[in-house]
Copies of this chain bind each other. A is one copy, B any other.
Amino acid sequence: MADFKVPLRDIRFSLHEVLDYTTKCESLTGYEEVGSDLLDAVLEEAAKFVEQELAPLNAIGDQQGCSWNDGVVSTPEGFKEAYAKYVDGGWAGLSADPEFGGQGLPPSMATLVSEMAGTANWAWAMYPGLSHGAHNTITAHGTDQQKQTYLGPLTTGEWTGTMCLTEPHCGTDLGLLRTRAEPNEDGSYALHGTKIFISAGEHDMTDNIVHIVLARLPDAPKGTRGISLFIVPKFLPKADGTVGARNGVACGSIEHKMGIHGNATCVLNFDGATGYLIGPPNRGLNCMFTFMNTARLGTALQGLAHAEAGFQGSLDYARERLQMRSSSGRKNPDKPADPIIVHPDVRRMLLIQKALAEGGRLFVHSLAMDVDIVESDASDEIKGRADQRLALLTPIAKAFLTETGFESANHGIQIFGGHGFIQEWGMEQNVRDCRISMLYEGTTGIQALDLLGRKVIGSQGGLLRQFITEITDFCDHHKGDRNMANTIATLKTHCDEWEHITTQITMRAMTDADEVGAASVDYLMYSGYIVLAYMWAMAQATALNALASDNCTEEDFYQAKIATAKFYYDRLLPRTRSLVATMEAGADSLMALDAEHFSF
């Protein structure tokens, strides 16, 4: 694959020009000073780091994978050294509290760096990425002593963290989990059980790993209301903060997986491991759901990452590979054939990738800014609105951007033809690495139930109405703009339809609960296409505005935005037509067959 380049110009377009990042930071308590100069300096340094240190390890990580030997996990060549540079560069604590050694920048800055790192090398980026869950849990629910012990090394990145949820018999349905925590005399607990699919659960990159483990206390109620959280460090920290005795948690094996080979997916056996209760007993799931949006946004990012990687790889190839002549007359008469980018169907795939990556970037950035607001805005009303917006849009971002990221990654293979199937070009790795994103942190189906059942119907339409009002306000603001007329009209029609369909499904669900699950994934994808249509409308408006200015020096850049917006409305938004039809079909034909009659 060609060298990965961070799309800095597009990131700046999104943040500065469309979303007005630095102005928004001014109203955030503690982040008033994050001006565009600081932002750009950080972005440029981060881009250098990921291009030079992480991108070159992406293929190596896939080919070597991790290895397990008697409980010890070795990461691929260079991973450990790159991680050391990451820690030395202060990247781990970019958005963390200065009290514990962080840089004190808004959370969105960490998201932007994760976007870059993840696009360069997703498997590597998961090691620091997974620490956020542990870090956030201890920040929000830890005692002072727990904070003093763990937050320092988690902030600097000297230690990493994990979240240990899944067990062999339960993933989605955590109410079934069996790992148990028995009280020790000293107030700690002895944990017994097996966790699976623990990403970065064991590795050789840091001196210690801090596991946050879901387990049951002896007297815990059944189901999800009997789950507590425990801190279980790989090595028990000593009073002076250094690493002490090995704890009773061991990596029993690592999984052989389709992709993300560079990241160790571990079976962890807890055999009387010492754990410390964090947060109130039996409220573990609630404590954990606090960060659900952040974790899911982190996975939405993965969809964007693979869309961008697929786009970059296949765009380079499509410009260079000579094959056949253009149907509308040869474009490259001196050569034996034209570059394949002349062919309409190759362009179709490239433009799908481009529209999804650039539109997805705007979507992710706008949510990352909501996270900042929820954390730090001075106004409770603004905070509340951002929180509602995040609640509605996070499941859409997670599922829609990973599903469409997978599509974009697959177009990457397709544009390469047979070569796309071969390891050396990187396109097939991009697909394999991407595939997990639709599964972990809640499958697409789970996101869809969360969206339609909990968020939309659960708020009696309130969350949806707030967001549609935001879009309608945007439309009203641009209603006099002749160049935006088609876009605005189409967007408004879709918003009306969105409300109408929501009402229809809600009515049907009153008499048949299965109607929610029957419509949910189509509803989520439908919603995703409208959200991205809104993003592209904003991009178009911004580009038109820039072109109208007297001193525009980047006409081609802005014209490309306008052309891509038109492509999106012509070629991607119409996917809603089929989704409307299938949502309207209802649950009947899904529920008709008995389970034993699916095959004979």
Contacts and interface: CB of A to CB of B under 8 A. Distances in A.
Interface of A: 7, 9-10, 166, 169-173, 176, 197, 255-259, 311-312, 315, 319, 322-324, 326-328, 336-337, 339, 341-348, 350-351, 354, 410, 413-414, 417-424, 428, 431-432, 435-436, 438-440, 443-445, 448-449, 512-514, 516-518, 520-521, 554, 556-557, 559-560, 563-564, 566-567, 570-571, 574-582, 585-595, 597-600
A423 B256 contact: yes
Contact of A435 (B255, B413, B517, B589): B413
Contact of A567 (B7, B171, B348, B590): B590
A418 B169 CA distance: 12
A208 to B, nearest CB: 26
A444 B349 CA distance: 12
A414 B443 contact: yes
A554 B345 CA distance: 47
A233 B479 CA distance: 72
B431 A347 contact: no
A420 B432 contact: no
A166 B439 CA distance: 37
Contacts of A421: 257-259, 435-436, 439
A344 to B, nearest CB: 4
B423 A560 contact: no
B255 A422 contact: yes
The 7 closest A-B pairs by CB, nearest first: A574-B581, A344-B517, A258-B428, A327-B513, A570-B585, A577-B577, A578-B578
A492 to B, nearest CB: 18
Nearest to A5: B599
A336 B173 CA distance: 10
21 contacts: A171-B419, A173-B322, A197-B418, A311-B599, A342-B595, A344-B587, A344-B590, A345-B520, A347-B590, A351-B589, A418-B436, A418-B439, A431-B435, A557-B597, A560-B593, A563-B589, A563-B593, A563-B597, A567-B592, A574-B581, A577-B580
A517 B444 contact: no
Given A171-B323, A258-B421, A589 B570 contact: yes
A328 B567 CA distance: 42
A238 to B, nearest CB: 36
Nearest to A327: B513
Contact of A590 (B256, B348, B577, B580): B348
Nearest to A443: B417
Contacts of A431: 258, 435
Contact of A439 (B169, B258, B417, B439): B417
A417 B341 CA distance: 37
Contacts of A591: 344, 347
Contacts of A337: 173, 176
Most B C-beta atoms less than 10 A away, residue of A258, A342, A422, A448: A258
A438 B424 contact: no
Contacts of A424: 256
Contacts of A578: 574-579
Contact of A173 (B166, B324, B351, B521): B324
Contacts of A574: 578, 581-582, 585
A322 B176 CA distance: 10
A512 B432 CA distance: 38
Contacts of A438: 414
B444 A414 contact: yes
Nearest to A449: B345
Given A410-B435, A563-B593, 20 more contacts: A171-B323, A172-B323, A176-B336, A256-B422, A257-B422, A342-B595, A344-B517, A345-B448, A347-B591, A348-B590, A351-B593, A354-B598, A414-B439, A414-B445, A420-B439, A431-B435, A556-B594, A556-B600, A571-B589, A577-B577
A354 B440 CA distance: 25
A130 to B, nearest CB: 15
A348 B428 contact: no
A257 B323 contact: no
A62 to B, nearest CB: 11
Given A166-B418, A423-B258, A578-B578, A597 B560 contact: yes
Nearest to A571: B582
